[in-house]
Amino acid sequence: MPIAFKEWAVTVRALAEGEQLLTLRKGAPQGHELALEHERFFLYPTFDHQRADLVRESHRPELARALEEGVWSDGEPTAQTMLRGVEIAQPDRVRIRAWAEVAAQYTITDRRSLDALSPFYVWSTEYAAKRLDWRRRQPLHVILLRTYRIPRPVTVKVRDEFDASLNWLELTRELPFEGTPVLSDEEFERASEEIAAIACDRQPLLV
């Protein structure tokens, strides 16, 4: 079965449009290393804990567009509800429109590096800093993703077992890894070099 990686709907949309190239994660509680279970996966949009104040101000209008990633049987939440930061009901179905592969992985430990990477993510720098500060003794893993849009979005059912705490999901319908990269090779290479220069003075982890 295809594997999907969960991110906020607004983040998935940003990845699928080339406006975000990174995801940020901490390692396991007892160790510094982050073992990525998969190196290629579909992007699954979720609305769990997604709030307007956790997205940088210039990108908040995109929260309304991110509602297109869900399908609600009782009617779509309003953009005003989303922008007010009110918790919304989870959709009955979500649209899968992109997949990604891990291009590189770095670790950082300081706020200055994290802030310098902000052009490559749509979260507020304060929210990104919270990810850095959680389990403060562990470094933050910066995962560079190469994202591809699939030819036609596919709608999948939101299942009860898709718990909010899970990062990885197993989809119940087959999906091919095909499509168009959201950035050209030249654009991605240029951004990758800038990210590598910012991320740290240590070597990238092999993927």
Q: What is the pLDDT of residues 156-194, one digit of tens each?
A: 998 876 666 678 888 888 888 999 999 999 999 999 999
**4-25 residue pLDDT tens:** 999 999 999 999 999 999 999 8
Number of domains in the chain: 1
Residue 70 lies in a domain: yes
CA atoms of 43 and 51, how far apart (whole Å): 19
Strands 180-181 and 140-157: antiparallel
Residue 80 lies in a domain: yes
Residue 205 lies in a domain: no
Residue 192 lies in a domain: yes
Q: How confident is the model at residue 206 (pLDDT cuts 50, 70, 90)?
A: very low
Residue 204 lies in a domain: no
- 94 or 25: which leads in pLDDT: 94
> Looking at residue 36, which CATH number applies to its domain?
2.30.130.30
Q: What is the pLDDT of residue 139?
A: 87
Residue 86 lies in a domain: yes
Domain residues for 154?
A: 3-199
Contact 10, 55 (CB under 8 A): yes
CA–chain centroid gap for 156, Å, is 18
- Stretch 41-46: mean pLDDT, rounded? 95
- pLDDT of 83 higher than 60: yes
Mean pLDDT over all residues of the chain? 86
Residue 74 lies in a domain: yes
Lowest mean pLDDT of 75-84, 117-126, 174-183, name the range. 75-84
Residue 206 lies in a domain: no
pTM of the model: 0.89
Tell me how many degrees the CA angle 140-5-126 measures, rounded to the nearest 5.
Answer: 40
CA atoms of 76 and 79, how far apart (whole Å): 9
